[in-house]
Amino acid sequence: MQTSYDLLDRRGIIMLVLLGLFALIVPICALLVPKTSLFFMPPYVVALLGKYLCYALLALALDLVWGYCGILSLGHGAFFALGGYAMGMYLMRQIGTRGVYANAELPDFMVFLNWKELHFTWYGFQHFPYAALMILAVPGLLAFVFGWFAFRSRVTGVYLSIITQAMTYALLLSFFRNDMGFGGNNGLTDFKDILGYSVQSDQTRVALCVLSALALAAGYLLARAIVVSKFGKVLIAIRDAESRTRFLGYRVENFKVIVFTISAMMAGIAGALFVPQVGIINPSEFAPANSIEAVIWVAVGGRGTLVGAALGAILVSFGKTYFTGALPEYWLFALGALFVIVTLFLPKGIIGTLGEMWARHRTSPPKPSDKPSNMPAAAE
Amino acid sequence: MTNVNPTLTNSLLYLDGICVSFDGYKALRGLSLVLAPGEMRAIIGPNGAGKTTMMDIITGKTKPDEGDVYFGGTHDLSTMDEASIAELGIGRKFQKPTVFESHTVEDNILLALKAPRSPLANLFNRTGPEQKTRIEEVLTTTRLKDHRHRLAANLSHGQKQWLEIGMLLAQDPKLLLVDEPVAGMTDAETVTTAELLREIARDHSVVVVEHDMTFVRDLDVKVTVLHEGSVLAEGALDHVSSDPRVIEVYLGR
Ligand SMILES: Nc1ncnc2c1ncn2[C@@H]1O[C@H](COP(=O)(O)OP(=O)(O)OP(=O)(O)O)[C@@H](O)[C@H]1O
Ligand SMILES: [Mg+2]
């Protein structure tokens, strides 16, 4: 039974193997196979799959805080968007004189706004290492400061969820403003190069898609290493009985702020990989609905399972792509219905329910000791 | 700490004139209690007497409006948070058994085990052989050895109570606060629990809150009777149970 404590359990291995295969197959099908072949993968599919994988990484990050520590963040989309903006700023500065106004220093929107010099927030973003640092540091710092105040003043449950939602909404409003210096409601787009390679080329698309798969695998390993450590056991303890954990001498707020910050940085990386693949980042990424959708991914796939979160993100996003193509008006209803159905009939999500069935099947006399990462009976 | 009160400096726990009110309702009114090092004390009193609130004060969950709370003669508990109080060496068992339901019995003990509490130390923790031995000991003492791999959620009510006591033992505090350990237990379990607590009291100071008079009699220690937020009587069980005021408010209900 100790298997669930190991860094890699059965589901983890399956997920990593699938991601590995994916990383091999996509380059072959997209670049090597002739375009007429049945196995040819057109570039738009590559970009779509890459996008799903970024969502999966966001879901994984959310599951780390919600599934294991009971922090229901309704604002994780903000960290994703901030990572995306950091990447977008790097990409904007790579455009150089190829912009509409051919200004080597200033992105088009700044020229359009009649700005004479680069907004100070953009300094350094022409260097990829600096941008990469910001992709981690900006979401991480916001999460740290937010968490520091929220967790120290012991805001929990619904109240915490509401203020995370307010946080992303406030960012949405500020990023809409032109004078913030991030392109206003148009956001950042028309990217040309990333690290010297054209973002439009098939090879770059494939590379980004494969990188997204690798980032998901790495994110999974990191999250898994955290949750199987004693630190992770403390997180679960906090989720199950926060005040009990305090009376054992653990400073709950410190554990929360650390895991929240790590999770925000993972979300930032997901956003950074997302932006060059979709070719745009604008304030709508901060929309509260995005963050809520991420919660639904995790609930559908199975909260507190990591693998389930990733699976849920991919399945629901696939459903969204399909629905918004076939029956665009009904997508939101379908999403709402899905959430209700999962909450009522699959409270442990797909992976949680499968895991339970597997455990029951394997041990004929019910030995309930199989899954230490069960969901709590009710969220605190 | 210019206070040179001899009871303060010799005592492990010193409560003096504690008042607490919730929305105007005075739950504690001038409660005073002194516990000597190594002592075991039983606290009885009718529902709402303030027994649990007293434990909340000692463990930092509730701050007193008035009065002094000192631990070990020098630590002012009213200025400390739960985690620091726990690290000083005060452990607590809740009235409603509170264990980590989705952890195994063994992991519940592991989390309680005396060890560094900082996030980093826990991130890179390796459970060493001494810790494993200690977990074995606690599992044996609390008679949970055969259940070590079960999820705490699946234990019986009595077993959860024991597990929580086991977590206290693992924490190895100087002072254990035990709130109604035998509530909802069968008679046999109650007897075993009394045995367990006496065993623990050999090398720890213990405060036990209990309604069950047979159990309190079994413990055979000094008894404090609380009533409406202050101490009504104190002494041996036979002594307090013959006190007419105690009979009136509590025993003669
Ligand atoms: N957080 C709180 N807010 C409001 N009132 C409270 C709070 N905690 C306790 N009280 C009130 O204070 C009084 C004392 O409660 P306490 O729980 O300490 O009693 P008790 O002696 O432990 O009783 P029992 O035997 O029922 O456990 C009760 O009237 C209770 O309703
Ligand atoms: Mg009580």
Copy the structure tokens of residue A95. 């455009």
Q: What is the pLDDT of residue A363?
A: 67
Q: Band of the pLDDT at B3, cuts 50, 70, 90?
A: low
Q: Is the CB of B51 under 6 A from ligand 1?
A: yes
Could you list the mean pLDDT of each consecutive 10-residue stretch along chain A, which spans 380 residues?
66 96 96 92 95 98 97 98 98 92 90 90 95 98 98 95 98 95 94 94 96 98 96 97 95 98 98 97 96 96 96 96 88 88 90 88 56 41
Q: What is the pLDDT of residue A356?
A: 87
Q: What is the pLDDT of residues B5-14, one digit of tens each?
A: 666 668 999 9
**B87 contacts in chain A (CB < 8 Å):** 249
Strand intervals (E) in chain A: 188-189, 193-194, 197-198, 280-281
Q: Determine the residue among B63, B100, B132, B147 to mutate to test chain A binding: the one whose Cβ has the most chain A Cβ atoms within 10 Å.
A: B100
> Is 3.40.50.300 the CATH number for B91-206?
yes
Q: Which ipTM value was assigned to this complex?
A: 0.90
Distance CA A136, CA A261 (A): 10
Q: Band of the pLDDT at B250, cuts 50, 70, 90?
A: low
Q: Give the DSSP letter string of A154-195.
A: T--HHHHHHHHHHHHHHHHHHHHSGGGSS-GGG-EE---EET
Distance CA A147, CA A151 (A): 5
The number of the ligand 1 atom at minimal distance from the alpha carbon of B229 is 14
Q: What residue segments make up the domains of chain A, in order of their start?
A: 11-287
Superfamily designation of domain B1-88+221-253: P-loop containing nucleotide triphosphate hydrolases (3.40.50.300)
Q: What residue segments make up the domains of chain B, in order of their start?
A: 1-88+221-253, 91-206
Sequence length of chain A is 380
Over residues B15-42, the mean pLDDT reads 94
Other CB atoms within 10 Å distance of the CB of residue A176? 17
* A243 touching B (Cβ < 8 Å): yes
Residues 187-226 of A with CB under 8 A from B: 226
Query: Which residues have C-beta within 8 Å of that of residue B13, sequence separation ≥ 6?
Result: B33, B34, B35, B58, B70, B71, B175, B205, B207
Q: Given an 8 Å threshold on Cβ–Cβ distance, is B92 in contact with A247?
A: yes
Residue pair B15/B33 in contact by the 8 Å Cβ criterion: yes
pLDDT over 90 for what percent of chain B? 68
Residue A379 phi/psi, 5-degree rounding, is: -70, 145
- HEC secondary structure over chain B: CCCCCHHHHHCCEEEEEEEEEECCEEEEEEEEEEECCCCEEEEECCCCCCHHHHHHHHHCCCCCCEEEEEECCCEEHHHCCHHHHHHHCEEEECCCCCCCCCCEHHHHHHHHCCCCCCHHHHHCCCCCHHHHHHHHHHHHHCCCHHHCCCEHHHCCHHHHHHHHHHHHHHHCCCEEEEECCCCCCCHHHHHHHHHHHHHHHCCCEEEEECCCHHHHHHHCCEEEEEECCEEEEEECHHHHHCCHHHHHHHHCC
Fold match between domain B1-88+221-253 and domain B91-206: yes
Q: Is the CB of B48 under 6 A from ligand 1?
A: yes
State the Cα angle at A42 between A40 and A45, rounded to 5°.
Answer: 115
Q: What is the pLDDT of residues B63-87, one digit of tens each?
A: 999 999 999 988 999 999 999 999 9
Residue pair A287/A172 in contact by the 8 Å Cβ criterion: yes
Residue pair B70/B8 in contact by the 8 Å Cβ criterion: yes
Q: Which ligand lies nearest the alpha carbon of B27?
A: 1
Min Cα–Cα distance to chain B from A248, Å: 6
Distance CA A135, CA B206 (A): 53
Q: Given an 8 Å threshold on Cβ–Cβ distance, is B107 in contact with A375?
A: no
Q: What is the pLDDT of residue A371?
A: 44
Which amino acid does the sequence have at A178?
A: N
Distance CA B185, CA B214 (A): 13
Of A229, A241, A249, the CB nearest to B100: A241
**Which parts of A5-42 fold into alpha helices (H)?**
10-27
